[in-house]
Amino acid sequence: MTTDEAIESALSRLKVVDAATAEKLGRQPRPTTDPETLFKLADIPIRHQRCRSLERGGAWGATFDRVRVKIADGVLIALVGNRGSGKTQMGVELIREALATGLSCRFASATKFFMEIKATYRRDATDTEEKVLRRFTSPRLLVLDEIGRRGETDWENRLLFELLNDRYNDCRSTILISNHDVEGFAASMGPSLVSRINETGGVIDCSWKSFRETV
């Protein structure tokens, strides 16, 4: 057996083929279907990946169950309210659940989305704005964190509307997370997006006691 044949044989037993090795062998990386592997590849912050001591009871658990059953339905849902209420972790746990049912998922902050778009404007950029938008519109579930930390410029508002409207039209679920209160969130997003959110999923006030508070 030649060296290349040995490599090919070893790779055939793996669920995931390294992209560089796959290119060397003239083949596409083999996608994994393992939920735990996909969870680690979904750009989720390590702190939230490692959270295992989550208390699923009370208002948090009731809200999680309320949202979880809708994920496959192409909803736009906003989780809003005070800091430390577990909104981001809820988004992460929704990704974990969705991956287990075979849905593709991605986690990102609003800042990350805009940074990836801006990177396409560099002279040496290999991505286009359209390609970046496609990466964010293609997952069946997108969790977009810190939506309230954007500058709300016309440029940002245009791109955000384009992204969310594309996902709305394609019936792909999106969870938006913001530290705004309900009224502040509505003012930030504008009536067109709020109407789409209210139609498909709604704005959920997560203003219960912060998990970060010490006793």
pLDDT in tens, 147-178: 987 877 999 999 999 999 999 999 999 999 99
- Residue 17 has what pLDDT? 40
Residue identified by tokens 């940002």 is 156
Measured CA to CA, the distance from residue 33 to residue 15 in angstroms comes to 8
| Helix or strand (DSSP H, E) at 79 | strand 76-80
Measured CA to CA, the distance from residue 41 to residue 105 in angstroms comes to 9
> What strands, in cross-sheet order, belong to the sheet with 105-109?
105-109, 141-145, 173-178, 76-80, 202-205
Contact indicator for 146, 78 with CB cutoff of 8 Å: no
Condensed to tens digits (0 to 9), the pLDDT of residues 86-124 reads: 899 999 999 989 988 989 999 999 999 999 999 999 999
Measured CA to CA, the distance from residue 107 to residue 145 in angstroms comes to 8
Does position 46 have pLDDT exceeding 60, yes or no? yes
Condensed to tens digits (0 to 9), the pLDDT of residues 108-117 reads: 999 999 999 9
Query: Percentage of the chain surpassing pLDDT 90?
Result: 60
Residue identified by tokens 């939920």 is 35
